[in-house]
Structure 1
């Protein structure tokens, strides 16, 4: 009985979540059945469920969906590869930090979606446009988190490294990286969701490939059930990516410096 009670307690948040989702779906079905909103604008959950199952078997939809995931993965990977070494250098070298502070402030404050027209002019409507916009959007997140991580290193640790005659590369590897890693992983977790959202935004506003373009075509064809089914697909994907990022963060980082958010 004790084991059963523990299992129930652990599963209680999930049960509440399922119950809440069930209430939302029930309310949705009631609104659709009552005709409060025309079916052309809000089809019922059964119709959307059928459309969702149909999309999973649609080769064109699957191809564009995989294109979106590929854009997300490549963009996030590029941002991480470039921003982490640069963030280590900026955080470690004070002259470089002072020289780059204004550029970083401008870059991180810039509304990324407004750059889509400029990116289209620069590289066209192909995959390069999406990758450039998404990479730019998440580059600053990982960069700033890395810089904060370097600045959180205890000065005593740096003095010890200096006393041991560590070079800059060895100091970064043995002193800076272990302390900075929690900040870096947190930055990547945050960037994971934002990269997916910006990828979809670029596809909705101006790309020629990706699941966002498919949703636009469904909207133009007034296929409301397919639109909602596509929204459901990308919502589930975003949730899965977020959960995966959180689990990875917990596995990689089993401790956090005090005060880290």
Structure 2
């Protein structure tokens, strides 16, 4: 019983410490415009932004754009996971595949995704395909490179011990290489999750008729400043939600890992 209470207190105090900086930031945001430390026209108080956010939720305008963005973001991220993890495992485990593919991968991984946005739009148009494709491209590289790195940095002692026990190549891969690579793979997925939001928002600002990036651009052009900040806060919340979801999945599959 005492141990349970101690754990609860630890979690509560950790949550308080973790949210202290956010509370201070919100307090400064609210007071700075009201004390004329910044121009309230361009940075309205947080309370006005939250009021505008709530009105957008009630009207359905925010939900419509939120749905468009999250579908594009998650679709591109899932496609990148399905493509990059098997390819990264193959490159990291089989040297002949690495020799063949490494030059091409080096060429494309050093190309910024947003630099290719005009190409995606020209070839695929301004519809959903181009948005999902640019997210797929941006998310592929962190997952792929971290997967390759995870496979190549498996402790050699683990591999030698497994071989000494008579494990064949397939069982060695499934029981030793893959589980040991999971932390690095999930690091890549979390980095890709952040990229999926950032790249998508930029793409929506350039050419889209819906989405949070489009919404922010629209409100900025129409000088709806509180609504613009409401869209920005929604993007931050979306990124946080995706990251926390990935952390929970990582804990589920990497429960054996010591912190």
- Please, what TM-score do these two structures have when normalized by structure 2? 0.87
- Counterpart residue number, 1:79: 80
Structure 1 residues 124-159: Cα deviation after superposition (integer angstroms, max 9, x where no partner): 111111111110111111111222222234342674
Measured on the aligned residues, the alpha-carbon RMSD in Å equals 2.6
Structure 1 residues 216-252: Cα deviation after superposition (integer angstroms, max 9, x where no partner): 1111110001011111111112112212212221221
Matched, 1:156 2:160: yes
The 5 Å alignment of 1:1-261 reads 7-153=8-154, 154=156, 155-156=159-160, 159=163, 166=168, 172-256=173-257
Structure-2 separation of matches of 1:76 and 1:111: 17
Structure-2 separation of matches of 1:100 and 1:203: 32
Structure 1 residues 28-49: Cα deviation after superposition (integer angstroms, max 9, x where no partner): 2222112333332111122111
Maintained 8 Å contact 1:127/1:209: no
User: How many residue pairs end up in the alignment?
Assistant: 255
- Please, what TM-score do these two structures have when normalized by structure 1? 0.86
With 7-16 and 106-115 compared, the bigger mean Cα shift is at 7-16
Structure-1 separation of matches of 2:197 and 2:162: 37
Q: Structure 1: which 5+ runs fail to align?
A: none
Q: Structure 2: which 5+ runs fail to align?
A: none
Question: Structure 1 residues 23, 186: closer, same or farther in 2, change over 3 A?
Answer: closer
Q: Report how far residue 210 of structure 1 moved.
A: 1.2
With 30-39 and 61-70 compared, the bigger mean Cα shift is at 30-39
Question: Structure 1 residues 18, 182: closer, same or farther in 2, change over 3 A?
Answer: closer
